[in-house]
Structure 1
Amino acid sequence: MNNKNVFDTLKERGLIAQTTHEDEIRELLGKEKITFYIGFDPTADSLHIGHFMQLIVMKHMQNAGHRPIVLLGGGTTMVGDPTGKADMRPMITQEVIQHNADNFKKQMSKFINFDGENAIMVNNADWLLKLNYIDFLRDVGVHFSVNRMLTFECFKTRLEKGLSFLEFNYMLMQSYDFYKLHKDYGVIMEFGGDDQWSNILGGIELIRRKDGKQAYGMTFTLLTTSEGKKMGKTEKGALWLDPEKVSPYEFYQYWRNVDDADVIRLLKLVTFLPLEEIAEYEKCEGAELNKAKCLLAYEVTKMVHGEEEAKKANDAAMAIFSGGNAADMPSETVDASIINAGINVLDLLVQVGLIPSKAEGRRLIQQNGLTVNNEKISDVSTIIDNTYFENENEMIVKKGKKKFLKIVKA
């Protein structure tokens, strides 16, 4: 166990965005072993890279001897968090929520040790779905000022388009979760993404008003580029942690292809490499930074998909960039009859998902950005037929400098 105060570790790595009582929290984390919680609403059947930051923080805390509680939002998901959303979330059934929660548990177990009392996983459906509405309003609602709630960013941004009363209850429910976990498990601190700040403050205030006790909150940096753009989006959608949704190779490539300006900061945020080692890479410039990017991609892929998959992804990337082929390159299958008849290159690339539209494909070709079997494609009317599939019914397409796809005829 590391004797260093975990608060200093989180701060040095750039993970902390806001704290409610910085000096008190630092002192608390240095002298006591506390119980804290982070909530995850299972709105999809897999965690994505946005959740990954919370798992990293939880792992740092557990490594320092503190006890995490993972709160699955089986109840809150039935309402939907308005934070950061332009429109109301679609409602999903209890059965789907339960299925998603089960998947979350499996994925989180790769990061967090749930043996014995090291960490606990609970579901707020166990208490929220049993609440009597009148009792809840009298017991919890009485402590919330609507005037104050409307000043919070999560509500202000939605008022113009319309905020349903359903969503307006979300802050009360999350605050009640903090209070409930405080009573049942001795939780004194809630963590979350920086977009959860107002919800965390609601819980702290509720505990103070009902119990007269001091609770604490800390939020963490959202994963963004140096330009402030939210990270985690790929051409196919979110950067999921499920290998069925995003292959380990594609996952690796996402991190391998980050901008030069982001790589050092990301090594601090999403890996556990010692800061002294990362400092050595800060001296790198230009092409030298590729070593840091490969390290970042390998470390994150190893955490999410295991060492074997990380090595395979790394080897595949090396083979491709050295001009060879690799079994682990992402691939798409097309029906042999389509190739036998011949198909326009743009139609084929849209079909396999390498480009979102033919218009983008035209721009790509005009900018000399499309290669098939190491040959530049310069004509948008090129027809792909059997002559392109000489090597074991495979064709290698390269989009730009770094995006490769193997198209297999079957």
Structure 2
Amino acid sequence: LQMAGNRPIALIGGGTGMIGDPSGRSDMRTMMTPEIIQHNCDCFKKQMSRFIDFSEGKAMMVNNAEWLLGLNYIEFLREVGPHFSVNNMLRAECYKQRMEKGLSFLEFNYMIMQSYDFYELFQRYGCNMQFGGDDQWSNMLGGTELIRRKLGKDAHAMTITLLLNSEGKKMGKTQSGAVWLDPEKTTPFDFYQYWRNVADADVLKCLRMLTFLPIEQIDEMDHWEGSQLNTAKEILAYELTKLVHGEEEADKAQEGARALFSVGGSTENMPSCELADEDFKDGSIDILSILHKSGLSASRSEARRNVEQGGVSVDGEAVKDVKAVYARSQFEGEGMVFKRGKKKFVKVVVK
């Protein structure tokens, strides 16, 4: 939209974050402190700057705390309340799916608040279209209706398909299976690998939704099969990693990933874990400690299960003995590559 000459307004939820959106969730969100909300807002601005040009006059970033936190409750009810039908609200999918487990009055207000956001943006900045995920459809329509009823003007809503995790759930920030834009939470290498390992059926959808590759180029991939689909996945992973983390990190991630599947490939850019002297006992370290220390397993007990189930290998050789140990000297130089499952691996070296 920005490339087509429009001026985006990125809306940060400093006010709505105090409530929490029930859309796409089967449980109530964890309440956040004002400090956490402000920290999240600061992080969002930094992340969005990778995708939206916020230079002079090109785009705006506003925080709905600016108009929501100072609202007088009685005045708000009188001004906005008459324009919302409870019957219609309860028919909305985001509320309907919560009725059996229980919907708090706190969350019930969310649609009205998001609608009020659109009303404020329309009045303050002339914003006439709201764009978001398709789980926001009811909330967005509430805004267009509020603008029509109070101002007699037309406003519009546009949604895009949500990305879902492998369990078919919304890939939200607080759901398991999410991939993060923050390199502290998902490293550029793991980010690359996530997209490199998408299902065959999803790769073209993701290329169309998430990259700026010419649509004609993507259409040509429609008939790709077998190893060609792996090439498409590499293109997807590289393009997205470049967009989010920059070209240098994308190059490193691609080189590191390719090294795992080629004989004699360089492991220089592979994720690594450094062992210190205190990690060794009598000059050696056991397999369970390595898996836990490197983050390949969440605990020693999980590491034991991983080995027993045949999901662990070292430098390409399967490890079947939970008591396997490795000498310090084996990690010197290039180190050793430990792998868990098909997608998790790390190069282990000594300091």
* Kept in 2: contact 1:302–1:310 (CA 8 A): yes
CA distance in 2 between counterparts of 1:181 and 1:348 reads 53
Report what 1:348 is aligned to: 290
TM-score, length-scaled by structure 2: 0.90
SS in 2 for 1:318: helix
For residue 297 of structure 1, report the CA deviation from its aligned partner: 0.6
Are residues 319 and 280 of structure 1, via their aligned partners in 2, closer, same or farther at CA, if it must alter by over 3 Å?
same
Give me the whole-angstrom Cα distance separating, in 2, the residues matched to 1:340 and 1:236. 36
Note if 1:377 corresponds to 2:319. Answer: yes
The more displaced of 110-119 and 301-310 is 110-119
Q: 1:251 to 1:257 in 2, by over 3 A?
A: same
- Identify if the C-alpha distance between structure 1 residues 384 and 322 changes in structure 2 by more than 3 Å, giving closer, same or farther: same
- 1:85 and 2:25 matched: yes
Q: What is the CA RMSD across the aligned residues, in angstroms?
A: 2.5
The CA deviation at 1:399 is: 2.2
Counterparts of 2:8 and 2:254, CA distance in 1: 32
**Would you say the 8 A contact 1:79–1:166 is kept in 2?**
yes
SS of residue matched to 1:63: coil
Quick check: 1:332 aligned with 2:270?
A: no
AA aligned opposite 1:308? E
What are the Cα deviations for residues 306-327 of structure 1, in whole angstroms up to 9, with x where unaligned? 1111111112222232133423
Q: Distance in 2 between the 1:96 and 1:250 partners?
A: 26
Q: Retained in 1: the 8 A contact 2:53–2:59?
A: yes
Alpha-carbon distance between aligned partners in 2 of 1:276 and 1:100, rounded to the nearest angstrom: 38
CA 1:284–1:251: 2 relative to 1, 3 Å: same
Structure 1: tracts of 5 or more residues without a match: 1-60
Task: Indicate conservation of the 8 Å contact 1:225/1:262, yes or no.
Answer: no
Match of 1:217 in 2: 157
Partner of 1:147: 87
Query: Comparing both chains, which one has the higher relative contact order based on Cα–Cα distances under 8 Å and sequence gaps of 6 or more?
Result: 1
Deviation at 1:359, TM superposition (A): 6.5
The 3 A distance-change label for structure 1 pair 234 and 87 is closer
- Which amino acid letter does the alignment assign opposite residue 329 of structure 1? M
How far apart are residue 274 of structure 1 and its match?
A: 0.9
* TM score, norm. by length of structure 1: 0.78
How far residue 382 of structure 1 moved from its aligned partner, in angstroms, is: 1.9
Deviations 1:76-109 (A, max 9, x none): 1011111122322222222322222122111111
Alpha carbons 1:339, 1:384 under 8 Å: kept: no
The runs of 5 or more residues in structure 2 that have no matched partner are none
Residues matched between the structures, number? 349
Find the counterpart in structure 2 of residue 95 from structure 1. Answer: 35
Secondary structure of residue in 2 paired with 1:71: strand
Whole-angstrom distance in 2 between the partners of 1:241 and 1:291: 23
Give deviations 1:267-304, integer Å, cap 9, x for gaps.
11111111211122222211222111111111000100
- Show the counterpart of 1:113: 53
1:406 maps onto 2:347 in alignment: yes
Classify the secondary structure of the residue corresponding to 1:289.
Answer: helix
